[in-house]
Chains A and B, each alone.
Chain A
Amino acid sequence: MARSSAIDRLSALSDDVLLNHILSKISYRDVVRSSLLSQRWRLLWTKIPRLKFCPEDFEKQKDGRIQAIINNALLHLDTRLSCLELTVALDDPKAAYINNWIRLAAEKQVERMDIHICNRDPKTGKRISNGASPMMELGDSIFSCENLTVLTVQYIRIPKMPTNFGVFRSLKALRYAGIPNLDDAMFEGFMDLCPHLQDLGILSCLGLKNLNIRSFNLMWIHLGDLRPDISLQLTCPRLMEIGLIDSGQYAGLKWLKLLQQISRAKSVKKVILQNYNTGNAVNPGMPSIIVLNSFPGLEELTIHGQCFQEMISDEMPTAEVALPNLKM
């Protein structure tokens, strides 16, 4: 069999394939190592549009090294940053580090950003579970990321917005998880900065008491593990989908309360209820009736979970509207 074994077919691949399909699948450390191969590879690593860091990348490094490596990665980047995923576990997280990373990302016109800073156990180097989150603050460099389209922030305090800030013109998706200082006023203030938001997710933000979501372009809302006594008000004329996620054992009861507060929203086509905890079960008919009353345009109802008693479809109440895609 003829073999052309001396041909370097890897280096012959296009920049696009190497950057977006091969280097994008390996750790940043290995991406940087590729610069040692040959001239072809010398600058390729600086053109990679997605930077992803996870705690496993830094298990043996001290905080100062981690900070320097991420700084250098951002400083050497010679392209627009389409995505920055920063899941970093530090012994002693310092606000200045994070603020500086985000400032550098803003300079590279970052479009998608996922920030999750957590503590790690100095002895084992392993990250401590989300619950033991630091009282870290994101820093106000976040307000210089004007090109953001998707922002996910997890287990970190978010800063008060500066008075002179314009708006996040491009922001389409915003996800909050475990934000300790997010209260009603702060939430509403931030929403006012995102006039084009389409997708909102809020998980485990217990500072929210009266959640008032007013947004003209919003199409998808996912809410999970909020306070049991939360009050909810929706003014979202284009809303298509509502997802309620709950890991607690009273999920069914919480949803009943939440759904009762939603006044008729004709635009909603899809409702998702998700829970994986066996606890105080609820008759599936109850939330179903409320769902049908609140969302006359409903086309699809998806229920995953064990918080409902036997989910037999003929226990469903007779619907006044058609549910052609009903999934249970």
Chain B
Amino acid sequence: MEGKVILSSSDGQVFEVDMKVAMISQTLSNMLKDTEDTGSETAPIKLANVSSRIFNLIIEYGKYHVEAQKSDTSEPTADLKKRVRELVADDKDTLFQLMIAANFLHIQSLLDLSYQIVAEDIAACKDQQMIRQKYNIENDYSPEEEEEVLKLHNIFE
């Protein structure tokens, strides 16, 4: 599929996106195939759940993804993961919004990479306090409960 596709974000910004880039989204790909079949005029497709800020990142990712498919990098996934980390710039909120958008748009590779990044970041934290801090997790254990979970946890240390 060649050409451009017109999309608009939840805050009304209009984007002209390369068809190849748009096709990495299973959701868009299905929609575009439908409009192609009916031959109807392509009005901008409204993405009600994706803000322009996140959509810009998704388009960047899409370009990397299309590029990676063309070139024979030895480790395409590792390279893409690095790119996603750059896009997110260690902002957890951006990472989760990207994850939600990838889920909505059915971009499996981006969804998997965002899970992978969360997993790696959790593993990299030195203790539970650091995880709580990074992800705004509230410690709602009572002191007695906390002692109990610590005790259970210690049998695995």
| Complex CA distance for A30 and B137, rounded to whole angstroms | 16
Provided the pairs A1-B53, A10-B135 are in contact, do residues A72 and B118 lie with their beta carbons within 8 angstroms?
A: no
The one of B120, B123, B135, B153 that contacts A36, using a Cβ cutoff of 8 Å: B153
The smallest C-beta distance from A12 to any residue of chain B, in angstroms, reads 9
Residues of A within 8 A of B139 (CB): 37-38
A69 interface hit (Cβ, 8 Å):
yes
The smallest C-beta distance from A50 to any residue of chain B, in angstroms, reads 13
A322 interface hit (Cβ, 8 Å):
no
The one of B119, B141, B150, B155 that contacts A25, using a Cβ cutoff of 8 Å: B119
Provided the pairs A8-B135, A10-B137 are in contact, do residues A27 and B149 lie with their beta carbons within 8 angstroms?
A: no
Secondary structure type dominating chain A contacts? helix
A318 interface hit (Cβ, 8 Å):
no
B109 interface hit (Cβ, 8 Å):
no
The one of B92, B116, B152 that contacts A35, using a Cβ cutoff of 8 Å: B152
The one of B92, B123, B153 that contacts A9, using a Cβ cutoff of 8 Å: B92
Provided the pairs A8-B138, A11-B135, A29-B156 are in contact, do residues A36 and B115 lie with their beta carbons within 8 angstroms?
A: no
B104 interface hit (Cβ, 8 Å):
no
How many residues of chain B have a CB within 8 Å of chain A? 31
Is B150 a contact partner of A26 (Cβ separation < 8 A)?
A: no
The smallest C-beta distance from B143 to any residue of chain A, in angstroms, reads 13
How many residues of chain A have a CB within 8 Å of chain B? 35
The smallest C-beta distance from B93 to any residue of chain A, in angstroms, reads 6
Is B92 a contact partner of A39 (Cβ separation < 8 A)?
A: no
Residues of A within 8 A of B150 (CB): 36
A3 interface hit (Cβ, 8 Å):
yes
B132 interface hit (Cβ, 8 Å):
yes
A68 interface hit (Cβ, 8 Å):
yes
Q: List 18 A-B contacts (CB under 8 A).
A: A5-B93, A7-B93, A8-B137, A9-B96, A9-B135, A10-B96, A21-B112, A21-B119, A26-B119, A26-B123, A28-B156, A30-B123, A33-B127, A35-B149, A36-B128, A38-B132, A38-B139, A73-B156
Name the 3 nearest CB pairs between A and B, nearest first: A25-B119, A36-B128, A9-B96
- B: residues with CB less than 8 A from A are 53, 92-93, 96, 112, 115-116, 118-120, 122-123, 127-128, 131-132, 135-141, 145-146, 149-150, 152-153, 155-156
